[in-house]
Structure 1
Amino acid sequence: MKKLKRYQYERYAVLCKVTYRADFEPEKLGFSRGNYREIANRWGNICARVMWRDNKKEVLVVFRGSQTMNEWLLNCQCWPKAKQFKGCRYNVHSGYDYLLEQSTNPIAPHYEADISLFTQLQRILNPLILAGKRISLTGHSSGGSMAILAADRLERLYPNSIKRVVTFGQPSPGFKSFQKAYLLHRRTYRICCDIDVVTFLPPLPGIYFHVGKMLWLHNERIYENISPVKRFLLSFFSWIVSPFAFHYMHKYIRNKDFFDDI
């Protein structure tokens, strides 16, 4: 597994923060309007943004985390959803699967009626992958879980198409069967910040499992793949004092200096 560089961390963190903005402007990030697509749900809320440059091989896919009441409630929909792709079966979080399978907003020119968010994403990415580009996915909170689930599906449909997956404050997306089947452990980085309680959700230890490499930013250092028990004990006091203070994207961006430029 390659090391996640500071500039990469900062880029993904900034993307995850600004994707919540209704006035998102790709030009400010160096992407032209012609190389930018957005996907909205049936209520018109932007859930995913796709952007790329003609002279670069990387395509960036950014998933927004929970923002509406309906989306927050879906985090509680933690019963298993059985999925099957290319003969592989596994169980994932029903709520996050719904977020990928929800209908998109049928507004021209980039939205189509009666197809799922993932199908819309696949139709955008298909010509880019066929042109030789590779996909990097990122997301904050439930958007991180969407990025994980979408990346695994895309890798099964287009082998070796995924360059990297980086998530921030991500709850667990699936059961043990999904952890075993996940194709991208060595290309997935799960960033956890101090005592962000959302990263411990759903609160069902031994049932839900994370994937990829965990990087825990705590007390001015990075802990790699630290055990959940040790992580819990190290942050127990702070967890009681301020349980949700460390979940927001500005906290993750503030920790960008942990990452090397080399």
Structure 2
Amino acid sequence: MKKLKRYQYERYAVLCKVTYQTDFDPQYLGFSRDNYVEIANRWGHICARVLWRDDHPEVLVVFRGSQTVHEWLINLLCLPKVKQFDDCYYHVHYGYDYLLEQLSNPISPEYLDDKSIFQQLYTIVNPLISLGKRITLTGHSSGGAMAILAADRLERQFPKSIKRVVTFGQPAPGFRNFQRQYLLHRRTYRICCGVDIVTFLPPFPGLFCHVGRMLWLHNERIYDNISPLKRFLLSFTSWLLSPFVSHYMHKYIRDKDFFDDL
């Protein structure tokens, strides 16, 4: 497994942040509007963005996390959904699968009638993969879970088409049999930050499982593939000690940039 470099981390993190914005401008990020497609959910909210350059072999797919009350409620649907392919089947989180399989908003010319979010994505990346480009998927929160599920399906339909998957604050997307069948463990990076409770959800340890390589950013360190129990205990300890940790001098030094505005 290759290391995730700092500039790659920053690039995907910025993409995940700005994809929440309604005034998203691909040109601000160096992409032409001709090489940019939005995918909207059934309510007309943009939930995924696809960007690429003619002179670069990578296509970026960015999924937005939950914003509306309805989307947050869908996250609570912790039921198993069976997904079956030619050579296997597995169980995924019903809610995250629904977010990916819901009908897209049929507004022409960008959207097609009677197509799901995933089918829209398939229609966009299929010709790009035919040109030799490879797909990187990223997303925050439930958008990270959607990126995982979409990446696995694309890899089954287009072998070796996925370059990498990078998620931020992502809940577990499927059951243990999904973890065993997932094709992209060595190309998936799951970023967790501090005491992020969402990364421990759904709250059924041993039933819902994560995939790929976990990188936990905690107390100015990066922990690589730390066990969930150890991470929980360290997180809980940090929460208990947080009033005292704030007293350390390095915390004051790290916040020196605030004084630039005085």
Q: Same fold (TM over 0.5)?
A: yes
For 2:148, the equivalent position in structure 1 comes to 148
The offset of 1:87, in angstroms, is 2.5
Deviation per residue, 1:124-168 (Å, 9 max, x gap): 000000000000000000000000000000000000000000000
The offset of 1:88, in angstroms, is 1.3
Deviation per residue, 1:17-52 (Å, 9 max, x gap): 000000000000000000000000121100100000
For 2:68, the equivalent position in structure 1 comes to 68
Aligned mates of 2:33, 2:145 — CA distance in 1? 27
For 1:85, the equivalent position in structure 2 comes to 85
For 1:41, the equivalent position in structure 2 comes to 41
Structure (1 or 2) with the larger CA radius of gyration: 2
SS of aligned partner of 1:136: strand
The offset of 1:241, in angstroms, is 8.3
Aligned mates of 1:241, 1:221 — CA distance in 2? 17
Equivalent pairs, count: 243
Q: TM-score, normalised by structure 1?
A: 0.91
Structure 1 residues 133 and 210: alpha-carbon distance in aligned structure 2, compared to 1, 3 A threshold: same
Q: What does 1:1-262 correspond to in 2, within 5 Å?
A: 1-239=1-239
Contact residue 213 and residue 225 of structure 1 kept, 8 A: yes
SS of aligned partner of 2:28: helix
Aligned mates of 1:175, 1:11 — CA distance in 2? 30
Contact residue 104 and residue 117 of structure 1 kept, 8 A: yes
SS of aligned partner of 1:202: coil
SS of aligned partner of 1:84: strand
Identity of aligned residues (%): 75
Contact residue 83 and residue 89 of structure 1 kept, 8 A: yes
Runs of 4 or more above 3 Å deviation? 237-242
Contact residue 164 and residue 188 of structure 1 kept, 8 A: yes
Aligned mates of 2:163, 2:4 — CA distance in 1? 12
Structure 1 residues 41 and 8: alpha-carbon distance in aligned structure 2, compared to 1, 3 A threshold: same
The offset of 1:237, in angstroms, is 3.5
RMSD: 1.3
Contact residue 61 and residue 138 of structure 1 kept, 8 A: yes
Contact residue 86 and residue 156 of structure 1 kept, 8 A: no
Higher RCO (C-alpha 8 Å, min separation 6): 1
Q: TM-score, normalised by structure 2?
A: 0.91
The offset of 1:108, in angstroms, is 1.2
The offset of 1:235, in angstroms, is 1.3
> Which stretches in structure 2 are left out of the alignment for 5+ residues?
243-253, 255-262
